[in-house]
Amino acid sequence: MVTVSEAIQLITNNVKSSAKMEQRTLSSALDNVLAADVVSPISMPPFRQSAMDGYAICSHDSMEYTVVGEVAAGSQDHPHLNRGEAVRIFTGAAVPDTADRIVIQEKVNRQEDHILLEEAFRLGANIRPIGEQLHKGDPVMGAGMRITPAGIGLLAGVGVAEVTVATKPRVAIVVTGDELKAAGEPLNRGQIYESNGAMLAAVLSDKGYNDSQVLKAEDDLEVLTNTLQQALTEADVVLVSGGISVGDYDFVKTALNNLGVQQVFYKVKQKPGKPLLFGKKEQKLVFALPGNPASALSCFYVYVLLALRLWEGDKQASSRFQFAKIESNYHKKGDRAQFLKAKKGADNTVAILDGQASSMLQSFAAADALVFLDEEVSYVDQESLVPYLNIL
């Protein structure tokens, strides 16, 4: 049995980036992790650029200037300004070489081809110098960074159309339990509908892992061993649902052992999700998640997601908690750490939801956070800060 922080540390220490590299067009690279540094092929901006609508002036010792032309955004005009001359200019336009500042149009009186400035502007005012953001050859984004929408914009802005990214892991979900039926089938006595397969596939795709498959296995050592063997062959990461407790029909641990999966840890001092197992077979990762739906999902958010991100080589990967003020007093029973389904509110507050049993998903379906109360905590006062994980 390990503690929550030991389990997180063991995952961090044991999961190395195992992704391959692939080329992707930028438009299909959102949420992928860069596998190579990107250097800028151009300077940004590539020319001295006007930051405002107004007039570019070549200064002299008067507030009056003669307007000799116009440069709009995108125009290739390259007028030469002598001292005392100005051109009408617009945001984004190339600033003439001898212009030394842009005066904004709100501070200018124009009369035919003359302007009178209402105030003085400093040298370089409203001109973005060449390479203000990036110079040609500068690093734009580094390997290990996840490509966000802003990252797409940044890369597109320097003219990058293709990037080298880490492949995403293939995931196999192995669902165990003889009591489980598919939706649409009638339920006989003792049977329930299978829900972890759909739920885990959904949370995977929600987090950007679309290459997953669900395999079903009976509570039978031989059948289970064969199914797990197939999963280990076809996937990089195997998530098993159920069969990891201490019941007579819980064969997952034995089957994984028979298949040569090395156990990294088994059992975490937490609620829900105590019987969690994490193991490795060469580069392949295996999480055996408890079958109770809220346990399985909680373990996904805290442990599996971290491992998937480390597998991709994501340098930001961590199970980092944020802090919010708890809305009401909370008594925690027992000596295990707890992950509690919770909902964030205004002013950085968080409310613990009713219905925390590991078999229940109603509170989880309404939750956007998992509040973490460590082992030694037995009581938290209303308004005190508690750590939580964002889950949406």
User: How many other C-beta atoms are found inside a 10 Å radius of the C-beta of residue 63?
Assistant: 14
Which one of 70, 179, 211, 374 is in contact with ligand AMP (CB under 6 A)? 179
Do residues 57 and 103 touch, judged by C-beta distance below 8 A? yes
Rounded to the nearest whole angstrom, what is the least distance from the CB of residue 216 to ligand AMP in the complex?
Answer: 9
Here's the x/- map for ligand AMP, 137-176, by CB under 6 A: it reads as --------------------------------------x-
CB atoms within 10 A of CB 271: 20
Nearer of residues 156 and 192 to Mg ion, judged by Cβ: 192
Please give the backbone phi and psi of residue 184, each rounded to the nearest 5 degrees, phi first.
100, -30
Question: Quick check: helix, strand or coil at residue 58?
Answer: coil
- 192's contact among ligand AMP, Mg ion, none, with CB below 5 to 8 A by partner kind, is ligand AMP
Query: Rule CB under 5 A: is residue 275 a binding residue for Mg ion?
Result: no
Residue with tokens 């029909």: 249
Residue written as token pair 């020319």: 47
Contact between 194 and ligand AMP by CB under 6 A: the answer reads yes
177 counts as binding ligand AMP under rule CB under 6 A = yes
Is the four-CA dihedral 282, 175, 307, 13 of positive or negative sign?
A: negative
| Structure tokens given for 335 | 């000596």
CA distance 232 to 286: 8
Shortest Cβ distance from residue 178 to Mg ion (Å)? 8
CB atoms within 10 A of CB 34: 25
Q: Does 45 bind Mg ion (CB under 5 A)?
A: no
Distance CA(345)–CA(211), nearest Å, equals 34
With H, G, I as helix, E, B as strand and everything else as coil, classify residue 151: helix
Give the list of residues 6+ apart from residue 217 with CB closer than 8 angstroms, or none.
174, 175, 176, 223, 224, 226, 227, 228
Using rule CB under 5 A, residue 242 touches Mg ion: yes
Q: Looking at 39-47, 67-75, 239-247, 296-304, which segment touches Mg ion (CB under 5 A)?
A: 239-247
Shortest approach of ligand AMP to residue 270 CB, angstroms? 15
Is 172 in contact with 235 (CB distance < 8 Å)? yes
* Pick 144 or 243: Cβ nearer ligand AMP: 243
- In whole angstroms, give the CA distance from residue 251 to residue 244: 7
Q: Which of 54, 177, 272, 290 binds Mg ion (CB under 5 A)?
A: 177
Convert residues 207-246 into a mask of x (bound to ligand AMP by CB under 6 A) and - (unbound): ----------------------------------xxx-x-
Q: Give the residue with the Cβ less far from ligand AMP, 197 or 279.
A: 197
What tokens does 313 get? 């080589």
CB-closest chain residue to ligand AMP? 291
Provide the minimum distance between the beta carbon of 140 and ligand AMP in the complex, in angstroms, as a whole number.
Answer: 44
Q: With CB under 6 A as the contact rule, which of the stretches 8-16, 75-83, 291-299, 311-319 interacts with ligand AMP?
A: 291-299
Which of 44, 103, 134, 180 lies at the binding interface for ligand AMP (CB under 6 A)?
A: 180
Among 28-36, 85-93, 177-185, 202-210, which window interacts with ligand AMP (CB under 6 A)? 177-185
CB of 184 to ligand AMP, least distance (A): 15
293 sits near ligand AMP (criterion: CB under 6 A): yes
DSSP state of 52: S
* Rounded-to-integer distance, Cα 6 and Cα 290, Å: 19
* Subset of 241-280 contacting ligand AMP (CB under 6 A): 241-243, 245, 247
Q: What angle do CA 352, 357, 359 make, to 5 degrees?
A: 135
Residues 6 or more apart whose Cβ sits within 8 Å of residue 188: none
d(CA 381, CA 133): 47
- CB under 6 A: which stretch of 1-9, 195-203, 206-214, 379-387 binds ligand AMP? 195-203
Chain contacts with ligand AMP (rule: CB under 6 A): 175, 177, 179-180, 192, 194-197, 241-243, 245, 247, 290-293
Chain contacts with Mg ion (rule: CB under 5 A): 177, 242-243, 291
